[in-house]
Structure 1
């Protein structure tokens, strides 16, 4: 339905309700509720009249921010879609009220509360549209991120803290998602607030979960209480709470339940890869070799834990050499040596997987379900890396471990049941980031890069810059803004005070802890130096950023306007002075409008560290020559994901460099949809799309040896 028709229908149905209520016989017991309903319908009409021209403005221009005409998707489109969803819910509820309000069994109080909740949601979405309009006016043509730290990015944090959000987690919870996912989202939110209520009590993780189950009933019957408590939790509980809650999926009880419905595999074994120096052929000249050191950052060289999953037992997977690396993980673990049957030949393909979890939580165990399914569908062994987690192990420890595991897998592929003729890196969210940065590291080291990358909803910009899709963190039950910021802060290591001890170290410990600390600090603090070393002509990361159309916005004030014209820094342009004026006026909302404000305030510490702009942390900011050697990148994003604009802008950057890249934007799914692939038809189809992209990597035509680019073989 066209948006003009939607808003016309909204005005009509609100008028119908008002007319029906004014014409109904008076009832003293319902006078207050009737007056409330009349008032909220008039508020809805007012919001509708204000929102319609904003939506019209976005629909006129939002196609300019797509990757291309065949790939519609960006944060502006999503905001329009979310507003439409909210308005359609109001229309459906209002039609029901208009038709039934005079009936004897009509629940007036219940329906008034429902409409009030959606009216509050529409009011807050209206505020987000105003903020998005500022982004649209102030950003360069095609640019989705506001990279002015003193502008909308800071304003959005202030608005997020003060704006009322509880309405999105009560009766309106998940209105933007498919009906099949709403019960799951409700379960997650109820579990989270119940768990938060009992957090830090003297209970084990499982005991706390059981206690939470007993206290969750009140949040089922009282959606308003649930919303208020969820808002309080997301704004006030620390990172340890989120790590603990997310890691509940790792408990043996929940893992056993998920195994019931998962695919059966013959190999599911955890391995400990020792910290030993590796020697790999140089990609540009296989007659030469390059040394790869084990992970060093923060506490020195140490082993890396990985999980091998294979639907079919293959050669090498039952070898004594592999069994020597295996470690026990529970009674239901499948060990290769426990199978007394004929082994299948080595597979020409290998998947190396990096799990999501915001760099702070979960392991390969949380992602077993879809990995088992993929191993069966593709008939390929999968190696999933259990990298160390922040904040105990901030950047670059996880990257070092993933790169080392990648190199070890190339050298020892025969133990994994593969010849590694085709290698595909796969990851979701934080894992998608690691897929890209591991490949960048392979390029910089001169070792073989993978044959392709499949990244699901990857995080490619770990800064606090605002974008239209990040505005969705105000309403996202799975990725609120403060949680996103806590993950960024933890991975960047701004407040890192403790690290894990080094275990099972080899002779490389002779380096000494002081040397290791020096190397770690050097790696973290050298963002600008690194870019200058890679590209001597490039300005420092903090002084210039490149937009998707190749235009540069520099620190001296030169900028490219939306029509492509360049404005010099010799004098402020009208648009620049207009932007400064808006900031000085604190970018007020229109007269007679103010969003609803929260009663639960928090002090959000916005992450501020140069490491956030390190190209190996935020690959969207990487110089072109570091991205030139990347293999084909296949990105699968979701329209309702707060990180959607990360995917769009990164795909644009690669395409502008003539790098092979595909972007697919699935509709109506939240961040983390791979872990939900068994919950609905929509998530299953999205997971199948990832399988299709992996298959394309394995089946793509291989270039003759004499035509391969260095680093691409």
Structure 2
């Protein structure tokens, strides 16, 4: 439906409701609710009249920000799509009210509350459109991210702090997503607010979850309370809360329930890669070798844990050498006699996976559901890396561990059931970032790069720069801005200066305190050096900031003295939140390190990357990360594809079995992985055509 028809329908149905309510007001037993509903419908009409020209202005230009005509997708398109979704819900509810408001069983209070919630949502979306207009006018042609120094413009951060968000987490929860996912989102939000209510009580994680089950009823029957509490939680609770909540899926009880419905595989083992130096052939001249040291950042050399998943038992996977590194996971495998003695030959392909979780949470266990499915569909072994998590292990520990695991897999592929003739890196969110940065590190070390990268909704810009898709953090129940900031700060912010040693280190991994301090300072110095390559002025100003504010300097915003936003018309003001907090805005040189934010990498580091296949979501706050990276690679004549799926949230791979749409999105990833594995079989001209 054309957007003009949408807004015409909105005005008409609002008039119909107003007429129907005026006709029944004298006979209504609840005159107060009727009058309030009349006021809400008039407000919706007002918002509709104001929003229509904004939508018209965006639809006239948003195609300029797409990757190409065949790949429509960017934050401006998404904002228009979200507004349309909100209006469609209003139309549906308003038509019901107009037809049934005179009925004996019509619940005036309930319908008034429903319509009031969507009126509030439309009001806040109107505010986002005004803010997006600022980006549109300030940014260069085709540029989605603000180039303003200071990141996600301070006025936008201040607006996020002060704007009312609870309406998006109550009755309107998930209105922008596929209908099949809304019950799941409601369950997640109810679980989160119940968990938050009992957080910090003297209970284990599972104990809190059990206690939360008995306190969740009130949030099911009271959407307004749920929305208010969720807004409070997302802005106030610390990173440890989010780590604990996200890791609930890895408790034995919940993971056992997931395992019941997942694909059965013959091999599912955890391997511990010892911290030993490796020698690999030099990519440019295999007659020479290059030595790879184990990860050392922050606390010195240590082992790396990985998970090997294979639908079919293959040669090498039952070898004594591999079994010496492994422990079984789940009921599929009992060592040493649990393997079927009939082994398949080595696969020519190997899939190496880096999981998501904002660099701060989860392991391969949270992602094994779709990895098992992929192992069966692709008929290849999969190695998933359980890298160390921030803030205890900030950058560059995770990158070092993933790169080391990649090198180890190349050298020991015969143990994994593969000849590694074709190697594909795949990851989602933070894992997508690591796929790209591991490949960049392989190039810089002279090691063979993978044959392709498949990155699902990757985080490629770990700064606080503004973009239209990041405005969605105001309404996203899975990735609010405050949570995104906590993850960025934990991985590349002030936590970098206070890294804690791992809980369990191999005895061979112990290093003296002075050595660890030296390595940390070396990493900080390398970051500053990279920054001087990208922007010498910014680097010098960053060092000045550090010296004046101390090594843990972080920009913060005082809610007592809000900065005035002048982008709103004189007759409009968005709804304001009662839950005002001071959200920290991480700002460190590390955030602009190209191995943290590959979107900022110089061409020399991106040139020579293997084919990059990105699968993004139109409703993801990180959508613009994917679009801008794809544009940058294409402008360099690097092989890249971008697929933008509709109606799904960030993290859709973990929702594989919840809906037809998530399954289809997973199938797209599988298709791209298969293209990487089969690419060599295609003629060169066809291969290049398929990548453009």
**TM-score for both structures, normalised by structure 2:** 0.93
2:651 matches 1:650? no
Structure 1, residues 484-541: CA drift from partner, whole Å, max 9, x if none? 00000000141353513475547675x6442232122211342241366xx6xx6438
Aligned equivalent of 1:605: 584
Which of residues 513, 521, 536 is equivalent to 1:540?
Answer: 536
Mapped partners of 2:281, 2:474: distance in 1: 48
Mapped partners of 1:293, 1:513: distance in 2: 19
| Aligned partner of residue 409 in structure 1, secondary structure | helix
| Aligned partner of residue 306 in structure 1, secondary structure | strand
| Aligned partner of residue 123 in structure 1, secondary structure | helix
Mapped partners of 2:168, 2:530: distance in 1: 43
2:438 matches 1:442? no
Structure 1, residues 75-112: CA drift from partner, whole Å, max 9, x if none? 00000000000011101111111111111111111110
Kindly report which structure 2 residues correspond to 1:43-54, keeping only aligned pairs within 5 A, or say none. 43-54=43-54
Higher mean Cα deviation, 122-131 or 500-509? 500-509
Mapped partners of 1:86, 1:298: distance in 2: 47
Aligned equivalent of 2:143: 143
Aligned equivalent of 1:376: 376
| Aligned partner of residue 286 in structure 1, secondary structure | coil
2:624 matches 1:674? no
Aligned equivalent of 1:134: 134
The answer to whether the 8 Å contact 2:265/2:332 transfers is no
* Unaligned segments of structure 2, at least 5 residues: 541-561, 688-692
2:477 matches 1:481? no
Mapped partners of 2:216, 2:303: distance in 1: 41
CA deviation after TM superposition for structure 1 residue 702, in Å: 6.1
The answer to whether the 8 Å contact 2:191/2:216 transfers is yes
Mapped partners of 1:151, 1:446: distance in 2: 34
Mapped partners of 2:420, 2:580: distance in 1: 53
The answer to whether the 8 Å contact 1:276/1:506 transfers is no
| Aligned partner of residue 476 in structure 2, secondary structure | coil
Higher mean Cα deviation, 497-506 or 138-147? 497-506
CA deviation after TM superposition for structure 1 residue 331, in Å: 6.0
CA deviation after TM superposition for structure 1 residue 701, in Å: 2.2
* Unaligned segments of structure 1, at least 5 residues: 545-582, 709-713
The alpha-carbon distance between structure 1 residues 335 and 376, as it changes in their structure 2 partners (threshold 3 A), is farther
Structure 1, residues 419-447: CA drift from partner, whole Å, max 9, x if none? 00000000000000000000000000000
The answer to whether the 8 Å contact 1:191/1:212 transfers is yes
| Aligned partner of residue 132 in structure 2, secondary structure | helix
CA RMSD of aligned residues (A): 2.0
| Aligned partner of residue 700 in structure 1, secondary structure | helix
Structure 1, residues 329-351: CA drift from partner, whole Å, max 9, x if none? 56665557521421000000000
The alpha-carbon distance between structure 1 residues 231 and 432, as it changes in their structure 2 partners (threshold 3 A), is same
The answer to whether the 8 Å contact 2:531/2:538 transfers is no
CA deviation after TM superposition for structure 1 residue 127, in Å: 0.2
Mapped partners of 1:641, 1:89: distance in 2: 20
The answer to whether the 8 Å contact 1:313/1:336 transfers is no
The alpha-carbon distance between structure 1 residues 335 and 310, as it changes in their structure 2 partners (threshold 3 A), is farther
Aligned equivalent of 2:12: 12
Aligned equivalent of 2:277: 277
Aligned equivalent of 1:288: 288
The answer to whether the 8 Å contact 1:628/1:657 transfers is yes
CA deviation after TM superposition for structure 1 residue 381, in Å: 0.1
Higher mean Cα deviation, 100-109 or 650-659? 100-109
The answer to whether the 8 Å contact 1:296/1:397 transfers is yes
The alpha-carbon distance between structure 1 residues 340 and 96, as it changes in their structure 2 partners (threshold 3 A), is closer
| Aligned partner of residue 701 in structure 1, secondary structure | helix
Mapped partners of 1:266, 1:330: distance in 2: 10
The answer to whether the 8 Å contact 1:528/1:540 transfers is no
Aligned equivalent of 1:577: none
Mapped partners of 1:506, 1:195: distance in 2: 37
Aligned equivalent of 1:453: 453
Which of residues 608, 616, 619 is equivalent to 1:640?
Answer: 619
The answer to whether the 8 Å contact 1:354/1:431 transfers is yes
Which of residues 660, 683, 688 is equivalent to 2:639?
Answer: 660
The answer to whether the 8 Å contact 2:314/2:344 transfers is yes
Mapped partners of 1:93, 1:323: distance in 2: 60
2:500 matches 1:499? yes
Mapped partners of 1:495, 1:171: distance in 2: 37
CA deviation after TM superposition for structure 1 residue 283, in Å: 0.3
The answer to whether the 8 Å contact 1:310/1:381 transfers is yes
CA deviation after TM superposition for structure 1 residue 657, in Å: 0.4
Structure 1, residues 243-269: CA drift from partner, whole Å, max 9, x if none? 000000000000000011100000000
Aligned equivalent of 2:344: 344
| Aligned partner of residue 495 in structure 1, secondary structure | helix
Kindly report which structure 2 residues correspond to 1:96-175, keeping only aligned pairs within 5 A, or say none. 96-150=96-150, 153-175=153-175
Kindly report which structure 2 residues correspond to 1:319-358, keeping only aligned pairs within 5 A, or say none. 319-327=319-327, 329=329, 335=335, 337-358=337-358
Mapped partners of 2:116, 2:49: distance in 1: 17
The answer to whether the 8 Å contact 1:349/1:418 transfers is yes
Mapped partners of 1:224, 1:508: distance in 2: 52
Kindly report which structure 2 residues correspond to 1:218-297, keeping only aligned pairs within 5 A, or say none. 218-297=218-297
Aligned equivalent of 1:92: 92
**TM-score for both structures, normalised by structure 1:** 0.90
The answer to whether the 8 Å contact 1:395/1:524 transfers is no
Aligned equivalent of 2:554: none
Mapped partners of 1:505, 1:354: distance in 2: 23
Mapped partners of 1:603, 1:488: distance in 2: 16
The alpha-carbon distance between structure 1 residues 150 and 309, as it changes in their structure 2 partners (threshold 3 A), is closer
The answer to whether the 8 Å contact 1:531/1:541 transfers is no
| Aligned partner of residue 68 in structure 2, secondary structure | coil
Aligned equivalent of 2:23: 23
| Aligned partner of residue 176 in structure 1, secondary structure | coil
The answer to whether the 8 Å contact 2:13/2:91 transfers is yes
The answer to whether the 8 Å contact 2:151/2:465 transfers is no
Higher mean Cα deviation, 318-327 or 513-522? 513-522
Aligned equivalent of 1:620: 599
The alpha-carbon distance between structure 1 residues 171 and 585, as it changes in their structure 2 partners (threshold 3 A), is closer
Structure 1, residues 221-264: CA drift from partner, whole Å, max 9, x if none? 00000000000000000000000000000000000000111000
Mapped partners of 2:152, 2:590: distance in 1: 21
Mapped partners of 2:393, 2:514: distance in 1: 17
The answer to whether the 8 Å contact 2:25/2:34 transfers is no
Mapped partners of 1:151, 1:641: distance in 2: 19
